[in-house]
Amino acid sequence: MVVTIMDVAKEANVSKSTVSLVMNNSDSVKLETRIKVLDAIQKLGYVPNMAARELTTKVKNILGLVFLTDNATNRSYQFDSVTETLLYDTFNGISSGMKQTDFGLLSERFSALEPNQELPSLLKNNRVDGVFIVGGLFDDAFIQRVQQRKIAAVLVGRNYPGIDWVAPDVLDAMYKGTKYLLETGHQDIVFLLGPQTSPVAHKKLEGICKALDEAGLPLRPDAFKYCDYSGSSGYNSMKELWTSGIGMDAVFAASDGIAMGAMRFLYDQKVRIPDDISIVGYEQSVITEHAVPALTTIDINKERMGEEALRILLNRISRPKAKPVQLMIAPSLVIRDTVKKRR
């Protein structure tokens, strides 16, 4: 026999509305009454009907996570795909915090830059109370469509005006990485940036120029390439720089995936890392420890971004008219085996 909310109310000798208040964590119920209701729920083994609850409260108790990728049909482990380490690590931060809530989580991979794309199905079908948008591969039109849905949303990994976001300080990250290479005696650094259309790539270039300016060095116009966040793009961009004949003693890549591609090309040329050329990545992910040699990289603290994104999204759901929360996370340098001290 199915236990109903009326059975719980009868067992606890309270009204049905009081049981509902307890299940919705209302502060208006006395502690003594709350304990009686919770004891009755446990004794009877009552499981709330979430579908009925949604009809009465308009709350689904489900959050959505949309990971923005360059191609939603490609597998993330393919060499020509974006490695989804950003998704994996931010998800760990989100899910650890969600254990303390009543929310569930649905996820979807989505390409916001492909022609004729509108919105992820999680948003089109009104399946969630709020959504994490992970990654920076979107344009203005995509964010405008999200905002038109009037749904709580937080960007994870990129900032944008007028909406909640948590993102790394990319300028400081690239500044730290470039400065470290300069301090270890490198003078001829080449840079593999992200897509030229991405505002993040240009912010990264600002950080590079800041460190070079402090050292009294110019940014050589032929010493950087824009490329996609994939291993194959890193490989091909490294090949272009190599065959151009430009001098180089270090490579700074705008993602760990790009760095892996550059390292593969250098391996094919029988170039020794770090003896011949040093390399630094950006992100900090599982692939950095597994690389040979282990990759020195910039840690953008993705798990913390996930934790903060959950806090921000829950705040937006409970306070829909609050001012946008915009949180920048400081990066840190992780020194491993791919940089040689040259002085």
- Residue 72 — pLDDT band, cuts 50, 70, 90? low
Identify the H or E element spanning 286.
helix 286-290
150 DSSP 8-state letter: T
Tens of pLDDT, residue by residue over 111-127, are 887 777 788 988 887 88
Q: What's the pLDDT score for residue 51?
A: 46
The answer to whether residue 48 scores a pLDDT higher than 80 is: no
Tell me if 297 sits within 8 A of 288, measured CB to CB.
Answer: yes
Residue 58 CB neighbour total at 10 angstroms: 8
Q: In this structure, what token pair is assigned to residue 321? A: 């008219």
Tens of pLDDT, residue by residue over 141-166, are 999 999 999 999 999 999 999 999 99
Amino acid in position 319: R
Residue 161 CB neighbour total at 10 angstroms: 8
Pairwise CA distance, residues 162 & 309, whole Å: 16
Q: In this structure, what token pair is assigned to residue 72? A: 């939603």
Phi, psi (5° rounding) for residue 334?
A: -110, 110
Tell me if 248 sits within 8 A of 217, measured CB to CB.
Answer: no
Tens of pLDDT, residue by residue over 266-324, are 999 999 999 999 999 999 998 999 999 999 999 999 999 999 999 999 999 989 999 99
Tell me if 193 sits within 8 A of 225, measured CB to CB.
Answer: yes
Compute the mean pLDDT over every residue in the chain, rounded to the nearest whole number: 89
Half-sphere exposure of 296 (CA within 13 A, CB side): 24
Tens of pLDDT, residue by residue over 309-341, are 999 999 999 899 999 999 999 999 999 999 999
Beta strand 278-283 pairing with 296-299: parallel
Q: In whole angstroms, what separates CA 136 from the centre of its chain?
A: 9
Tell me if 157 sits within 8 A of 147, measured CB to CB.
Answer: no
Q: Residue holding tokens 């003594």?
A: 32
pTM (predicted TM-score): 0.79
Tens of pLDDT, residue by residue over 80-102, are 777 778 888 999 999 988 988 88
